[in-house]
A and B are shown apart, each in its own frame.
Chain A
Amino acid sequence: MTFEQIIFYFFSTILISGALGVVLVRNPVYAALFLILSFFTSSAIWLMLEAEFLGITLVLVYVGAVMVLFLFVIMMLDINMDPLREGFVKMMPLAALVAIIIAAEIVLVMASPSFNFDQSVVHAADYSNTKAIGNILYTEYVYPFEIAAVILVVAIIAAIALTLRRRKGVKHQNPSKQIRTKRNDRVRLVKMPSSSTQNRAGE
C-alpha cells in the first residue's frame, strides 16, 4: 500500500463514518456536525484527485455558508426527533430495497465502457485545476454556465418577491438623511429678554 493509498483509506473511513453519523445520531445538531465532517473529508479526497478548486469550493460554499444557515435553522427550531423515527423499523425493508436498486444502478452505469478507470491521468507539477476549469467553463460551457447564473438570479428575485413585505407603522432611520442634517435643522436660537421680572412671574 502506497502512502497515497493510506491517506485515501484514512479519509474514506472518516467520510463513511461521518455519513453514517449523519443518519444515526439522535441530536440534529450533531447530525449537522457530522455532515460538516463528511463535506470536509470529501473535499480532502477531491484535493487528492488534483481537483483543488472543487475541493476548496466545497468547503467554501457548503461548509462555510450553507451549513451555517443549516445550523441556524436547526438551532432555532426545537425539533423533536422521536416522531420522525417512529416508522423506522416498518420502513426499513422498503428503504433497503431502494438502496439496493440504486446501488445496482450505479454498478450498471459504472460498468459501462465509457467509464475507464484504468487510465489515471497524471498532470505536470504546474497543472492548475482552477485554470483548467476556468478555461472550459468560459469557452465550451459558457452557454449553460450563463443560464445557470440566470437561474440563480431568478431564485434571488423569487425569494425577495415572496418574502419582502413592508410593514406599516415601523419606524425607519434614513442614515443619509441623518448625516445630511445641518445645525439649523436641529437647533433654534431664540432670543429671550433676560429680565428679572420674568423670572419672578415664572415662580
Chain B
Amino acid sequence: MTETIMSDISRALPEIFLLVAAFSVLLLDLFLSKSMKIVTFLLAQLSLLTTAWLVYNRMGVESIATSATVNNVESVQYALAFSNMYIKDALSDLLKIAMLLIGSAGFIYTRQYLRDRNMFSGEYYALVLFAILGMMIMVSANSMLLIYLGLELLSLSMYALVALQRNNGRASEAAMKYFVLGAIASGMLLYGMSIIYGLSGHLDLTGIAEYVKSSGMTKAGSFDLGLLLGLSFILVGLGFKLGVAPFHMWIPDVYDGAPTAVTQLIGTIPKLAAFGMVFRLLVEGLGDMQTSWQQILILLAVLSLAIGNIIAIAQTNLKRMLAYSTIAHMGFVAMGILAGSNMGYSATLFYTIVYALTALGGFAVIMMLSRKGYEADQLSDLKGLSQRHPWMAFMMMIILFSMAGVPPTVGFYAKMMVIQSVVDANLAWLAVYAVILSVVGAYYYLRAIKIMYFDKADTETTQAETGHKIGLDSHILLSANGLSLLALGIMPGALMATCVAVINVTMK
C-alpha cells in the first residue's frame, strides 16, 4: 500500500512540487513589502524552472522501473498512477516542459508591464502557477474526471486573472463574458462526458476506448445515437475551449479586454493544454469514432479558417487582430487532428508549440511598447516602429511572417506539415481551401508590417515614449524568441523529429 503511494507520488512529483511552490509563493508574498515583490517573481520563476527540470529529469525513468502498473511491453512507454487516473508518457512530458518554459518566458516579458499597472503581486503569480498546474493535470489525465478538474482549475484561475484589474471596466466585462461562456462550455463538456460515462460505465479513457471498440462504432455505417450525442457535446465543449468557430465569440473580447499580460497567457500555454486535452479525449478515448468526429472537425476547421482570416482584416486593434488570427490558427490545429494519422497528430503538436512561441513574442511586443497608463494595442501604435526600435520591429516582422506562414520562418513549415497530413487523409479540397485562406490572412499580417516599416510615427507617440525604458531581459528574450522562429524555420528537423517520436511512442 505505502509502496504504491510512494511510486504514485514520485510519478506525479512535478505537479505536487508545483502545487507546494504555488502555496509558498502565495504565503511568502504576504510578508513581503511592496519594494520586495521581486522576490515573489523570482520564486515563481524558480518554481516553474524547477518543475520543468523535474519533468525533464524523470523522462523515460519509468520505462526502466518494473512495477505492476508500469506497462513496459516493447515500445509502449507510459506509467500510470493514482488508480490509473494519472498518466505519464512522452506526450505529457513534452507538453509539460513546453508549457513550463513558455510560462517562465511569459513571466519575464510581463514583469515590467505588471509593475506599471499595480498588478505585480503574489496573487497574480500564484494564480498563474495554479493555472499552469491545471494544464499539467489536463495533459497527463487518463480519466475524464481529471480532464474536467484540470480544466476547471485552469479556467477558474484565468477568469480571476482577466478580472484582476478591478477598476478596468473593459477587463471586468471581458471576465464576465469569459466566465459565462466558459461555464457553458464546461457544462457542455461535462454533459457529454456524463453521457459517455453513463453508456460505458467508465471514467478512465482506456475503459472508454474498449467500450467504443466493442460497440462496433469502428465499422463504417454503424450508428450509436448515445455515443454520438456524447461526442457532439464533448466536441462543443472542446470547441469553446480551443476557440474554434462557431464557438469563438469570447476570444476577441477576452483578448482585447484582458490586461495584455493575461492575454499573452491565454493566447499561448492553454493552446498546448487544449491540444493535450483534445488528444486524450478524441484520440485516446474515442479514437475508434474517428469517422464521426472527423466530419464535425472539418466543419469547425472550415468555419474557423474563414471567420478568423476574413474578420481579422477589418480590425484596427492589434489585440483583436491577433485574437482573430488565433481563431484561424486553431482551425489549422483542428485540421491536423482531423487527419487522424500519426503524421497529422505530430504536425499538430509541432504547430501548437510553434504557435505558442509565436504568439508569446507577438504579445510581448505589445507589452514592451505599452507604458504606464497607456496600452499600445492599436495597429497605429506600430507606426514607424522601424525608426523608433529597429531591432524590435525586425523581431515583430519575423513573428508576423511566422504567423502568416511566410518562408523561411517556422510558421510556413508548420502549416505545410498540417496541410500535407490533410492531403494524405484524402482531403485535398480542404488543403486547397486552407491555402487560399492563408493567403487571405497574409494580407493583414503584411499590412501590420507595412505600418511598421513605411508609416511615419506620430510626433506625440515619439514624445510620449521618451523616458520609457524597456527592460534588457525582455529585449534579450524577444531576440531569442524571434530568432528561434527563424532558426526553427530553417532547421525544423529536430523539433519535428521529437514530435513525431513522441506521437509514435504515445500512439503505441
Complex: A in contact with B (CB within 8 Å): yes
List the interface of chain A (C-beta within 8 A of B): 105, 108-110, 112, 114-115, 139-144, 147-148, 150-151, 154-155, 157-158, 160-162, 165
Q: Could you give 27 example pairs across A and B, Cβ below 8 Å?
A: A105-B229, A109-B195, A109-B198, A112-B198, A112-B199, A112-B226, A114-B199, A114-B201, A115-B198, A139-B83, A142-B82, A143-B81, A143-B82, A143-B86, A144-B146, A144-B149, A147-B150, A150-B130, A150-B133, A150-B153, A151-B149, A154-B130, A157-B127, A160-B123, A161-B160, A162-B164, A162-B166
**Distance in angstroms between the alpha carbons of A27 and B81 in the assembled complex:** 51
| Distance from B240 Cβ to chain A, minimum over Cβ atoms (Å) | 19
- Chain A: CB-nearest residue to B81: A143
Which residues of chain B from 193 to 222 have a CB within 8 Å of any chain A CB? 194-195, 198-201
Q: Is the interface of A mostly helix, strand, loop or mixed?
A: helix
User: Which of A114, A115, A144, A148 has its CB near the most chain B CB atoms (within 10 A)?
Assistant: A144
In the bound assembly, the distance between CA atoms of A115 and B146 in angstroms comes to: 23
Q: Is B190 an interface residue (CB 8 A)?
A: no
Determine whether the beta carbon of A162 is less than 8 Å from that of B130: no
Asked if A158 and B86 make an inter-chain contact with CB atoms under 8 angstroms apart, the answer reads no
Q: Is the CB of B199 within 8 A of A148?
A: no
Partner of B85, one of A109, A110, A144: A144
Q: Identify the closest chain B residue to A146 (Cβ).
A: B19
Closest A residue to B137 by beta carbon equals A147
- B146's partner among A108, A140, A143, A155 (CB-CB below 8 A) is A143
In this complex, which of A114, A140, A150 has the most chain B Cβ atoms within 10 angstroms of its Cβ?
A: A150
CB distance from A110 to the nearest CB of B (A): 7
Other than the given A114-B199, A144-B146, 7 more pairs (CB < 8 A) read: A112-B199, A143-B8, A143-B85, A144-B85, A147-B146, A154-B130, A162-B163
Interface presence of B26 (CB below 8 A): yes
User: Which of B12, B19, B143 is in CB contact (< 8 Å) with A150?
Assistant: B19
When distances are taken between beta carbons in the complex, the residues of chain A under 8 Å from B8 are: 143
B380 within 8 A of A: no
CA distance A109 to B86 in the complex (A): 27
Bound state CA distance, A154 and B153, in angstroms?
8
Given A105-B229, A112-B226, A115-B198, also A148-B159 (CB < 8 A):
no
Query: Which 6 A-B pairs give the minimum distances between C-beta atoms?
Result: A158-B160, A114-B201, A143-B82, A109-B198, A161-B123, A147-B149
Min C-beta distance of B176 to chain A, whole Å: 12
Q: By the criterion CB–CB under 8 Å, are A154 and B199 in contact?
A: no
Contact of A158 among B82, B127, B199, B201 (CB under 8 A): B127
Contact check, B198 vs A157: say whether CB atoms are below 8 A apart: no
Instruction: Return the contact of B149 from the options A140, A148, A162 (Cβ within 8 A).
Output: A148
- Minimum distance in angstroms from B74 CB to a CB of chain A: 28
Instruction: Please indicate the chain B residues that have their CB under 8 angstroms from the CB of A160 in the complex.
Output: 123
Considering the complex, give the chain A residue whose CB is closest to the CB of B26.
A157
| Chain B contact residues, CB within 8 Å of chain A | 8, 12, 19, 26, 81-83, 85-86, 123, 126-127, 130, 133, 137, 143, 145-146, 149-150, 152-153, 156-157, 159-160, 163-164, 166, 194-195, 198-201, 225-226, 229
Bound CA span A150–B136, Å: 14
Inter-chain contacts of A147 with B (CB < 8 A): 137, 146, 149-150, 153
Determine the distance from Cα of A157 to Cα of B19 in the docked complex, in whole angstroms: 14
Closest to A102 in B: B191
Q: In the complex, how many angstroms separate the beta carbon of A37 from the nearest chain B beta carbon?
A: 26
**B156–A109 CB distance below 8 A:** no
Query: Nearest Cβ distance between residue A107 and chain B, in whole angstroms?
Result: 10
B-chain residues with CB within 8 Å of residue A140 when the two chains form the complex: 83
Q: Which residue of A lies closest to B191 (CB)?
A: A105
> With A154-B127, A161-B127 given, is the CB distance from A108 to B157 under 8 Å?
no
Q: Which residues of B contact A110 (CB under 8 A)?
A: 198
- Chain A residues closer than 8 Å to B123, beta-carbon distance: 157, 160-161
Q: Which residues from A are CB-within-8-Å of B26? A: 157
Closest chain-A Cβ to B39's Cβ sits at a distance in Å of 19
Q: How far is the CB of B341 from chain A (nearest CB, A)?
A: 32
Question: B12–A143 contact, CB under 8 A?
Answer: yes
Q: How far apart are the CA atoms of A115 and B194 in the complex, in Å?
A: 13
A114 to chain B, nearest CB (A): 4
CB neighbours (8 Å) of B150 from chain A are: 147
Q: Which of A147, A151, A165 has the most CB of B within 10 A?
A: A147
Docked CA distance A181–B134 (Å): 48
How far apart sit A162 and B143, CA to CA, in the bound complex (Å)?
32
Complex: A4 Cα to B456 Cα, angstroms: 84
Residue of A nearest to B196 (CB): A109
Which residue of the partner chain B has the closest CB to A161? B123
Tell me the smallest distance from the CB of A165 to a CB of chain B, in Å: 7
Q: A112 to chain B: which residues have CB within 8 Å?
A: 198-199, 226
